[in-house]
């Protein structure tokens, strides 16, 4: 899967997990995207790595699951 498509997959997944109406994507200066939303009432952000990152699928899978584990959610989803 191409890096941009995988980043979109991560964004859609985190949007589904976030509290309704709080999800937004903010572009940082370096071209990276930062996802800001409320998860279980807590405002949190997640920065997507740039498209040139080595093995982006494995990296994002690990980072998203670490991010989800850090949230205080009743049922912690797993990103595949």
How many Å apart are CA 51 and CA 16, to the nearest integer? 23
Q: Is the residue at 30 inside a domain?
A: yes
Helix-, strand-, coil-residue percentages of the chain, each rounded to 5: 40, 20, 40
Strand order in the sheet with 24-27: 24-27, 33-39, 42-47
- Structural contact between residues 11 and 27, judged by C-beta atoms closer than 8 angstroms: no
How many Å apart are CA 50 and CA 66, to the nearest integer? 18
Q: Is the residue at 76 inside a domain?
A: no
Q: Is the residue at 43 inside a domain?
A: yes
- Per-residue pLDDT tens over the stretch 3-56: 778 888 999 999 999 999 999 999 877 778 899 999 989 999 999 877 666 678
Q: Which pTM value belongs to this model? A: 0.85
How many domains is the chain built from? Answer: 1
Range of the domain at 44: 3-70
Q: Is the residue at 9 inside a domain?
A: yes
Q: Is the residue at 56 inside a domain?
A: yes
Q: Is the residue at 77 inside a domain?
A: no
Q: Is the residue at 78 inside a domain?
A: no
């Amino acid at each position: 899967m191409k890096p941009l498509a995988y980043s979109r997959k991560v964004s859609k997944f985190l949007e589904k997990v976030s509290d309704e109406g709080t999800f937004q994507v903010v572009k940082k200066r370096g071209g990276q995207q930062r996802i800001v939303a409320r998860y279980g009432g807590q405002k949190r952000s997640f920065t997507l790595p740039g498209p040139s990152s080595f093995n982006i699928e494995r990296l994002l899978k690990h980072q998203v699951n670490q991010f989800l584990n850090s949230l205080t959610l009743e049922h912690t989803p797993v990103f595949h």
